[in-house]
A and B are shown apart, each in its own frame.
Chain A
Amino acid sequence: MPGITGKDQVLTAYANKLASLDAPKGRSLTQDALYRLGRNKAAVFSIVLLVLIVVVAFAGPYLVPWGYSQVDWSNIRKPPDFDAGHFLGTDQNGRDMLARVLQGTQMSLIVAFVATLVSVSIGVVYGAVAGYFGGRVDAIMMRFVDIMYALPYILFVIILVVMFGRNPVLLFVGIGAIEWLTMARIVRGQTLSIKEKEFVEAARASGVKPFFIIMRHIVPNLTGPVVIYATLTIPEIIIAESFLSYLGLGVQEPQTSLGTLISAGAPVAEVMPWLLLAPAAVLITLLFCLTYIGDGLRDALDPKDR
């Protein structure tokens, strides 16, 4: 319905003019972040390398001539030998190192993924609840985190692993259950500011229960910091897992992980350096990639440093 004063007509005309001018499209925050991430060469290179490592680790075992627990009796303790199909040599038991490194990478990646998932879930829920309810609940919950911080971390992991036994699933959960502390602190801090926003107030005013406010309105707004911190947690978890495997508390034979391979390779590196260098190279590459990706994501998602 046309307005009496003719104001609507003027506005409509202006809007049409704007539309025909082909105004530049706005960019969403995600597009903006992706664009900035794309300009970070180290991060892009790391992402490509990481994808490559993941694909090779999971598809590779079907392509290499030997299985990871298969013994080649005629080639024991042999350096890399292309004719026999042992591209990275064999270990003391005549098992193909390439196949073992692939399996170990796979295992380390799975541990990292599961444990990060566990630590992120616990940390986000814990931090969001503490931050949202505030007051005494917050004080008690965060004091508990302080206490956990006071426990010597690696001692606690060792105790937990010994307690849970050698079950790999529990190993993942155990490592993840320790790494959530910093995440909880970060999430709590963010929640404290988010819960003062109008949309949370609106939700509360319309009678939404706290559980749904936290899950629907607060947690989705935490994505940025959580993604960044989770990426930076993965290398820590890989290190923790390989350290436990190094002590003989982690993944058990014939299964293997990068840490187990390194711990098996280290004592014999003098005579058979390929047993140490191959898994070490993969582990170092993996850690560098993840860190560069994490740093890149932080720079891309954190508007402060723009």
Chain B
Amino acid sequence: MLAYAFRRVLSAIPIALIAVTACFFILRLAPGGPFDGERALPPTVLANLRAHYNLDQPLINQYFIYIWRLLHGDLGPSMVIDGFNVSQLIAIGFPFTLTMALTAFVIATAIGMLAGMVAAVYQNKWPDYVLVLAVMIGVLIPNFLMAALLQLWFGVYLRWFPAGGWVNGSWWHLVLPVTVLAWPHAGRISRLMRGSMIEVLGTNYVRTARSKGLGERLVLARHAIKPALLPVVSYLGPGLSYLLTGSLAVEQIFGLPGIGKYFVTAALNRDYGVVLGTTILYMFIILALNLIVDLVYAWLDPKVRYR
């Protein structure tokens, strides 16, 4: 187990490094730069600015400087927002994004598993049809459209929840954004759960359990749920990373103070530091999540360890 974990961690390192390199060069090879404002800067000022951020050096030198700083945990300065470095911006925005994504994640996973189980037990009866339709709606309608429709209906017509904005500490403002984030995730989870549950309910050991006279509830609780969870577990990692990236858009729409706002503005302004920093942060989260899922899987299923 330890050896397997070690191998997996080692193999994630080159992936991370190559991905950082790819992002760095793609971003730099794009036309435009952080100092192309509405008004052209005087050439000497521009030269000083470029020198300050090392932009006057050859690209390959800049790359090594960046990697060197990155290894020391320094994501560099923001080139557009004066006086802030990227780590500070992330520290301001990311906790909010993380809280929202995790809230949505916990709620959606619980609802999704429950819904999937109910749909599987009542397969091809009305609860199943209702749930399948709800899943389709959640998975298919893009989050910005869902956000707009919910804002219009619950925020403007019914006035149940605020349609947007943020007041510190007010959970009321999070209801609609978390719903928008959580619905597709709950949909995918319940789809997986329904599929694997139906498969498990058709296996021989479930038939044995029923035939020895166990009640339906006990069959589900003792024999069916645990094995049906495997595919759901393997989706939790990618699911959380979808929620984290998805929350960028949702924050933008609902005007919430997460990291999404910084990222989109930074990409438009060619704020290299912020874009790279955010991308790298997300990439590491995704890699870490995949790693954790793999390790949990290896722990659940010994066959995986020896492949």
Contact = CB atoms under 8 A, between A and B. Distances in A.
Q: Bound pair: A and B?
A: yes
Interface of A: 143, 146-147, 150-156, 158-160, 162-165, 235, 239, 242-243, 246-247, 259, 262-263, 265-266, 269-270, 273, 276, 280, 283-284, 287-288, 291
Contact of B140 (A151, A154, A284): A284
Interface string B217-254: 00000000000000000000000010011101100110
Given A154-B245, A159-B26, A162-B267, A262 B279 contact: no
B264 A158 contact: yes
B30 A262 contact: no
Contacts of A273: 152
Contacts of B287: 150
9 contacts: A143-B15, A146-B15, A151-B279, A152-B279, A154-B245, A154-B246, A163-B27, A247-B264, A262-B148
B67 to A, nearest CB: 16
A288 B286 contact: no
Nearest to B270: A162
Given A159-B279, A280-B145, A288-B136, 17 more contacts: A150-B15, A153-B245, A154-B249, A155-B275, A155-B279, A158-B264, A159-B26, A162-B267, A162-B268, A235-B140, A247-B249, A247-B264, A262-B145, A265-B148, A269-B148, A269-B156, A284-B141
Given A150-B286, A243-B249, A287 B141 contact: yes
Nearest to B16: A150
Contacts of A147: 15, 18-19, 22
A239 B146 CA distance: 12
Contacts, number: 108
Contacts of B283: 150-152
Pairs of residues from A and B, 3 with the lowest C-beta to C-beta distance, nearest first = A163-B30, A266-B148, A152-B282
Interface residues of B, number: 44
B91 interface: no
Contacts of B140: 235, 284, 287-288, 291
A159 B23 contact: yes
Contacts of B109: none
Nearest to A271: B156
B87 interface: no
B35 interface: no
Nearest to B21: A147
Contacts of B2: none
A239 B142 contact: yes
Contact of B151 (A156, A158, A165, A269): A269
Interface string B251-271: 011000000000110011010
A265 B149 CA distance: 11
Contacts of A162: 30, 267-268, 270
A291 B22 contact: no
Nearest to B155: A270
B130 interface: no
A152 B241 contact: yes
B196 interface: no
A291 B286 CA distance: 28
A263 B31 CA distance: 27
Interface in B280-298: 282-283, 286-287, 290
A90 B89 CA distance: 42
B114 to A, nearest CB: 24
A88 B19 CA distance: 47
Contact of B267 (A150, A159, A270): A159
Interface in B166-183: none
B147 to A, nearest CB: 8
Contact of A165 (B18, B31, B244, B252): B31
Nearest to B28: A163
Nearest to B281: A152
B71 interface: no
Contacts of A146: 15
Contacts of A235: 140
Given A159-B279, A288-B136, A243 B19 contact: no
Nearest to A245: B144
Nearest to A152: B282
B29 interface: yes
Nearest to B286: A150
Contact of A155 (B15, B151, B282): B282
A155 B19 contact: no
A160 B25 CA distance: 12
Of listed A155, A265, A266, residue having the most chain B CB within 10 A:
A155
Contacts of B97: none
B278 interface: yes
A154 B248 contact: yes
A203 B251 CA distance: 56
A229 B37 CA distance: 43
A280 B147 CA distance: 12
Given A158-B264, A159-B26, A243-B249, A270 B156 contact: yes
A155 B249 contact: no
A155 B248 CA distance: 9
A283 B136 contact: no
Contacts of B286: 150, 152
A155 B136 CA distance: 25
Nearest to A248: B268
Contacts of A283: 142, 145
Of listed B147, B152, B270, residue having the most chain A CB within 10 A:
B152
Contacts of A239: 142
Contacts of B267: 158-159, 162
Given A146-B15, A150-B15, A269-B152, A291 B136 contact: yes
